Structures are given as C-alpha cells and as structure tokens.
Amino acid sequence: MSTVTTQETVFVVDDDEAVRDSLRWLLEANGYRVQCFSSAESFLDVYLPVAHSGAISCLILDVRMAGMTGLELQEKLIAENSLLPIIFVTGHGDVPMAVSTMKKGAMDFIEKPFDEAELRKLVERMLEKARNESTSVQQQRAAAERLGKLTAREHQVLERIIAGRLNKQIADDLGISIKTVEAHRANIMEKLSVNTVADLLRLALSNKPQQ
C-alpha cells in the first residue's frame, strides 16, 4: 500500500491505467515525486489520515471515474477542510463542469491529451500554492502557541489593545487600575516576545485563518 511522504508529492487519481502511467512518466521525468491511485476511495484511504500533517502536495484528478467521481472527491475534500490544490483532467470537454469545479476552488481544468509544458506549469503553480498555505498554517500554529501562554485576564487586555483602547479605557472596561493594566501589558509583551503594539497586532492577526 502506498504511503504519503513528507516531501512534495503530486497525487494522480484516475481510473485509466494508461493515463496514470502517462502522467507518472511526464511528471517524474520533470523531477516530481508522484503517487498514483486508480480510485478516489483508495486515495482517501491514504490521504485523509495525514491530511493535516503539513506535507506539501497537490492533486491531479480525473472527473469521470467508476465509484466516487472526481467531483465527489472534491466535495469530500472540501468537507474535510483540505487545502489540497486540485486540477481536473478530462477527455470530455464540459465547460459548465469546469466552471463548477473552479468555483469550488479547483485551480484549473485541462483536457486529455496533456500538453507537457502546460501541465508542468500548472503543477508548479499548485505546489507553490501548497507551500504558501503550509507556511501560513505554521505561522497560525506558532501564534496560537504563543497566545496560549496568556492568562484569561491578559487575553481580555490584549483584545482591548488590539481594538485600540487606551490604558485608562481598558482599566474602566475591566474595573482595574491603570497600573494593573500597565503590568498586564508588560507581561503580554514579554510572553509574546514582541516590542511594539504593531508587532502585537501582527501576531494576533496571524493567528486568524486566511479567508
């Protein structure tokens, strides 16, 4: 059984063995690590258990397959909050279907037979997107870890600092003295290893998922 590697991987899901072999040959000839699956179900068995491991990968997906179709697999990945970049391949020119998949987040839609140069560009675009999203997720996790060091009261103070409240206003909001607010601010800056309110704001915002 195939296993997902931690290195950059191009997944190919297509129930046509000739197409899988062709894609594998084209992509491996260009230096990509490739893992092929003959069905959406067999891909999910391998991919979902490690979907949030931070591995950089992308998916080349056939639209029409026996069992779970490519469109159904896309829906399943969306439901699992997967960030896996997808391009669809098909032997059937179907513009409405192309529009539908791209509205749901697919990066592109190409027809068989494949143009090697176009395919290579698309795969590199997908992997670049996956790298950027992985970096963003790592930043969010690091920010969450640092913010997790704050006490409940420090979180209350932080929320008001980010909202632009002055120390006196924060003191009034929370029913504490200005000196106590100042002490909390100092603790927050120290725990989060930041020196300015601008750095504090950047850290707090980096903990919010990108839309």
CATH number at residue 64: 3.40.50.2300
pLDDT beyond 70 at 19: yes
Angle between helix axes 17-29 and 116-147 (nearest 10 degrees) is 80
- The order of strands in the sheet holding 108-111 is 34-37, 9-13, 57-62, 86-90, 108-111
Buried b (16+ CB within 10 A) or exposed e, 80-119: eebbbbbbbbbeeebeebbeebeeeebbbbbeeebeeeeb
Assess whether 64 and 106 both reside in one domain. yes
CATH code where residue 176 lies: 1.10.10.10
Question: DSSP assignment, residue 114?
Answer: P
2 within domain boundaries? no
Helix (H) or strand (E) run with residue 180 in it: helix 178-192
Assess whether 53 and 95 both reside in one domain. yes
* Last residue within a domain, chosen from 138, 171, 192: 138
CA separation for the pair 20, 37 (Å, rounded): 8
pLDDT beyond 60 at 209: no
Assess whether 170 and 118 both reside in one domain. no
* Last residue within a domain, chosen from 114, 138, 162: 138
* Last residue within a domain, chosen from 89, 118, 138: 138
Assess whether 114 and 52 both reside in one domain. yes
What is the tens place of the pLDDT at every residue in 104-122?
767 677 777 778 888 888 8
Assess whether 15 and 112 both reside in one domain. yes
Question: DSSP assignment, residue 109?
Answer: E
Assess whether 123 and 97 both reside in one domain. yes
Strand boundaries in the chain, DSSP class E = 9-13, 34-37, 57-62, 86-90, 108-111
211 within domain boundaries? no
Burial of 1: CB neighbours in 10 Å, binned 0-12, 13-18, 19+: exposed
Count of the separate structural domains present in the chain = 2
CA separation for the pair 84, 129 (Å, rounded): 9
92 within domain boundaries? yes
Rg of the Cα atoms in the chain: 23
Assess whether 96 and 188 both reside in one domain. no
What is the tens place of the pLDDT at every residue in 126-173?
888 888 877 666 767 777 778 888 888 988 998 898 888 889 999 999
CB 89 within 8 A of CB 110: yes
What is the tens place of the pLDDT at every residue in 69-117?
888 999 898 888 888 898 888 776 666 676 677 777 676 777 777 788 8
pTM of the predicted structure, to 2 decimals: 0.62
172 within domain boundaries? yes
Assess whether 125 and 196 both reside in one domain. no
3 within domain boundaries? no
Q: Which domain covers residue 85, as residue numbers? A: 9-138
